[in-house]
Amino acid sequence: MSRQLGWDVIRYIGTSFLDTYQDFILEMSTAKLELPHTDAFVQLSLLDGGSFVADLSRMHAGQTGTFRMYNWAFYISHQGRHVLWDLGLDQDRSYYTPLQLSERGISARDIDTVLFSHAHFDHSRPISDVFPNARAYFGPGTRAACEPGHMKDANSQWDGRFFDPEDSTEDWDELQGHWKPFGSFEKALDYFGDGSFWVLDAPGHMAGNLAAAARLQCGEDLLDEKQEIAEFPGPGTECVSLHTDMATAKETMAKIRRLEKDVGVHTALAHDALWMKNGTDQVLMSLLDDKMKAAAKEKIPYDEIP
């Protein structure tokens, strides 16, 4: 595998609206994209965030049956910083993420930041008891969309331990800083300030939804999965989907695909395991430790728990 230091090694990590692609036409500029030059890069590895059995018709239009929905989280290290992107599910495996970190020589106390791609239960959960030195961050607009949470409103899907204005238990904030264009995205945050890791405003799935671009030290090939976004019957005669704004979600997907086409990014989706089953994208496979590489061959192809 060639070792490069260019933006062809960008990787997208973690947003659930990227679980599917829509093969559609969207008018966009035909000018070839350029990304900021930098020699900086991060270390990135994939973590197993649990899984559950889901209805395929809720994900991909025209398909039926069930499948195991995996939840991937990511560990990012850079110049003494230790950051998590999403955590996955919190069931009996609530301490599974710290265990995986310890296998990499990282203590839960070393984690200084947890970046949540969005507030859905399979991506975010309280961190104060597990990562005592970390602060959590959501995307701009999350607070307004999710307050007050389930402790004040029993019908709310949002975790009041984050979003209750009076009784929250978590130390968190919305990401702030100078947002500027990055490739096909209008708003992006240079998280470490050296161009190695960008947080992207990726609207459509829900308020505050984020994606990320990580520059790595080596890379080649790319992943491209195309599926139709599913809509299914909701209350009354209404059709609903897993995205609060379907049109905007499609636009965001088109931006991702344009980065794939113009810049050669490698895309790792929050719930997608196809690239693991195929095992051909060496850049994406480099995110896996030996245990996950074994699981990618022996368990994930059969929808088993890693």
Structure-token pair, residue 211: 């994606």
CA distance to 44, 48, 99, 146, 306, per residue, from 96 (Å): 18, 8, 5, 27, 12
Phi, psi at residue 298, to the nearest 5°? -105, -25
Question: Bridge-partner residues for 75, per DSSP?
Answer: 45, 84
According to the model, what pLDDT value does residue 236 have? 46
Share of residues in the chain with pLDDT > 90 (%)? 32
Contact by Cβ (8 Å): 229, 217: no
Contact by Cβ (8 Å): 46, 288: yes
According to the model, what pLDDT value does residue 276 have? 87
Task: Express each pLDDT in 205-261 by its tens digit.
Answer: 888 999 998 888 753 222 223 333 333 344 444 433 344 566 777 787 777 788 877
Task: Express each pLDDT in 3-24 by its tens digit.
Answer: 333 333 333 333 333 333 333 3
Structure-token pair, residue 280: 């051909």
Contact by Cβ (8 Å): 14, 71: no
pTM of the model: 0.76
- Domains, in order of start, for the chain: 7-302 (3.60.15.10)
Q: Which of 276, 278, 257 is nearest to 185 (CA)?
A: 257
Average pLDDT, the chain: 77
Question: Is residue 63 very low, low, confident or very high in pLDDT (cuts 50, 70, 90)?
Answer: low
Q: What angle do CA 17, 249, 259 make, to 5 degrees?
A: 85
Sheet holding 185-190, edge to edge: 180-182, 185-190, 197-201, 210-215, 10-12, 266-267
User: What's the average model confidence in pLDDT over 99-104?
Assistant: 87
pLDDT at 164 over 70: yes
pLDDT at 81 over 60: yes
DSSP per residue over 208-256, as a string? T-EEEEEE-SB---------PBP-EE-STT-EE-SSS-HHHHHHHHHHH
Backbone dihedral region for residue 256 (phi beyond 0: left; psi -120 to 50: alpha; all else: beta): alpha
According to DSSP, residue 32 is labeled P
